[in-house]
Every structure is written in C-alpha cells, then in structure tokens.
Structure 1
C-alpha cells in the first residue's frame, strides 16, 4: 500500500515538474515565435499655436483632423485624446518634458504608444481684400502651415519631422465652423464668422492632408510572414493597406543594438533575405510569391513595403 502511495506521490511530483518545465518553455520560447503586430500605436499631442496670432483658434481642430486622418490608416492605432489628457494630469508631465528619455519611456508605458507626434501651427493668417474697381469686396484668403516632430517613446529621441501647407482663396463658404469645434472666432477681423472659419479650416484641412501624406514616409508599412509553403507566403497585412502587385522587401532581424555607455536602444540589425509580390488580398492577410532564391525567407521575417 505504501509503495502505491509513494508511486502516486512521485507521479504527482513528475507532473508538477513537467508543468513547471512547460511553463518556463512558454515564457522563453513563445515570445520568439509569436509575432508583433504591424500596427503602430501613436499618440498625438494637442497642437500649439506659435504664430503670435491670438485670433487663430484652430489648435483643437487641427489636432482632431490629424488624428482622424491617421486613424484612416489601418497600420496605425491612435491613442484616445482624453486618455492622453488624463495621463498628463495624473503624472503632472508637461508636454515639453516628454523629450526627456525617462519621461518619454514612462509616458509610452502608460499610454501603450510607441510614437509621439508633437506639432505646432507655424502660420495662420486670414486676409480680406478691400473693394475697388478691380477686386470685389470681401474676397478672403487663408494660409496655414503645420510642423511636427515624431518621437520614439522607447528612447525619447526624435526620429524625424514633417510639415504641411494649405491655403484657401474664395469669396464665401457654407462651412459650419462648429463642426470641428471652431467656435471662438471673435478676434479674427473682417467678414462673417462662418466665412472666416470656412476658409481657415479649409486651408488647415489641406495642410493636415499634406502633413499626413508626408508622415507616411516616416512610418513605412511593415508586417510579418506568418506562413510559408514553397514559394508562397502569407503576410499579416490585408485590405486597405496593400493591393495586388504590391512589393515587399523581406528582412531577418538580428541582434539588438544598445549603446555601451548610455545604454539606450539604438535599433536592431537586420539583413535582407529576399523580396515578395502580393498576388491575393483578403481582409486580414494577403498571399504573396517570393522571388527566386527564397531559401532564407522564413516564418517570422519582417516585410517592408518597397518605395
């Protein structure tokens, strides 16, 4: 009887040991074979008006428009604006302090964002022509210029910048400024509020569109190979991001590079191992064909959209 009990005890211990071993393997092995999402988490700080024109009250509108444009790209996930505001209040962090690596890392962890976009309105002007024999009274013109910096929240280092310009030249508009929260226009001289707001926001909208297009160059579309069968691979990028014929370069990621003195993460080595061309696009993933000599391409490789 005692022998049976001892045998059962050993069996239980062996089961527990196997469970522990399995758990450890999951912790150390699975992260290497699971693939990070190609979606990039981005936080957009409220734009600042540095033009000196106190009557140009479009900071909130520009911020909302940029967030909306970025959110249209399935490759981006935009942190909710209210969440950013709450976190800044909780931590008592100033926006200018987010350029400090320690603050940036803390902010990134709290928001879940990998990148931070910080922008300024550098030009915001509205003019109205006076009446004469040549020019009709009330013709208005607006110009808006925007500049942003993109900060890597893992390092606190600005990885690039971009700008956008827009203008509107018209005599009237039916645009309702309240649609984008542009209500406080008392300080802008000449013309009706609706007309001034309309051409100003139209100019700002053009600037945001150009800015958004320029930002895409800083965030190349990336994904992962999730399956390979011969010369056919499947990538985790689907409709809305790629089309048939889209070409991707394939990279094998190597050692992470860390500065020996500052200990900052500088990036990761990567080696090009081939190219693929998309030939079928579905909602959440796509099929692609590899180029000749694809032996080095394997599941887990990163794919980057060719320029």
Structure 2
C-alpha cells in the first residue's frame, strides 16, 4: 500500500534517526586502540655469510641493506647492531653456528629477540643468490626466503626484495614463529607441578631498578619475583621492613629499562634484568640468570614496567626450581658442605 507523501517523509526521517542513534552508540575505534592491537616483533639480524669467489665483502653489505629495509617496517623492532656485536663478543659465539634452532633460544634470551634472521650470499654460475633463514627463538621453527640476480646487479634492489619477503614471512607465519603468551597463572601452575612438595627456603628479594631518563615508579621486577615466590609457597621477607638474617636465600640483582623506538602511537622499551640467588650463611652462589625483554605500550613508563615484569617472570621460571632442589639436598654448613 502506497503511503501518502507526508507519511513517507515522516517514515524516512524516523529511519534516518534510528540509524543515527545506532551509529552514535557504536564506539568508533581510536587510533590508539588500533595501535594497541598491533603486534610488534623483536627481531635480530645476524651477519650474512659469503659463499663464492666473487662475493667477498658482500655479506656485510647485504646485512646492512637488509637491516635498513627491515627497520622501517612498523611491525618489527630490530635489536641494535651494536648490541648484537657486543653479545657475540661477550659470549664468544660463532655466528655461523649460533643461528640454528638449537641455539636460538639462548640468543633470544640474551637479546630479547623473538625472531632471528641470518643467511648467506651465494655466487653460482654468475648468478647471485641472497638466502635468508627466519628462525623463531621460542618455537625453533625455521622458514626461508630468497631472491636471485646476476653478479654485479644492484644490491640495494635485491636486499630490498629480500626484506619484503622476510617481512611478509614473519607476518604470515607469526603464529608459528612466536609462541603464544603464557599467562602468569599458567606459568605458576606448571611450576607447582614441576617443583612438587620440595621444601621451599625462606627468601629475601632485593632488585635495584631504574628507567633511563625517568624516575622509577615502583619495583616491577622485584614485585614480580616476589609474587611468583609467594604463589609457589616460598616465605618472602619484605626488603623494606624485613631482615636478611631471617632468610635462607638472598635473591639480588639489578634491572634497567630504556626507550627503544616508537611505532605510531606505541612506544617500545627494552629491559635488561640480572638476578642471582645466594645462600645467606655460606655466600655460595646457587644460580645466576639474566634476561632481556621488549615491552610495547602507549606510554614509555608502562612499556618499561611490562618489559621488566616479563624478564622477571622468565627468570623466575628458570631460577626458582633450583632453590627447591638446593633445599631438598640438605642444609649446608658455614664451609659450604652439606650436613648429614
């Protein structure tokens, strides 16, 4: 039935009003919300190896060009080349041998990188091949990327093409390269099962923390380790009001965080944490551990706190079971020898 003109106009106005109200009630995502959903993958690019008579010095050039290509990718955070070189020197690591799945976990722990990229420059029958391996430090999964050209071709173009392939591989294979985030509750549940009914020592925890360039709001790493200890059944002596003399084991160390880079509205912060567990009476060092983590958030302060918390959780997962083993093996006398 055809409505009169006035009725049709009135009905259309009603529909428009309803649509306007519905649109107003649906919150439009802000840029910050969009950015917060974006995952940023910490990545380390290792020096490329050279294989062939006419590729001398091309390895370093390709490494530099690939780094330059990847560093502008908003989905990636690249570990600084200087930090990587320092790590290689400190740990006396062999570049060609450490970028394999077996050693990827250690490299990731020491650099904060969740993904490693390494590769080779090959010369075969006047053809030039740039071959890259993309390795997940948490999953040990390996994927490849490669480009081909002629000896004498412009390396800039080949390296840029390789960078595009590597970036695409990381995004498309992220779920296989990067492990799913494990909640604190799940970590603790797994540790409880691992540690069983072993007797827990009383611990005193003290961690010096600072954020480069800004005041530290609260001790994020110390709080995280304390939380793990309490949830796992350790008696924790408060570092502010308690006494070291009441503890069996001292967990001490230092951590710092510093601004790394900005991705749109998001800020990346790198944190480094070192902890050691010491038998209070004997001074025996039971365990030493360190970790590097990357935090991403809208504010630099929160990103730094997140990074320190993640590093602390990783160390607690590895270090605390060693304290239970030490306690269960028997107390030690002042000379560090076990008592029968």
Report the TM range for the smaller structure's normalisation. Answer: 0.3 to 0.5
Taking structure 1 as the reference length, the TM-score comes to 0.42
Q: Which has the higher contact order (CA 8 A, sep 6+)?
A: 1
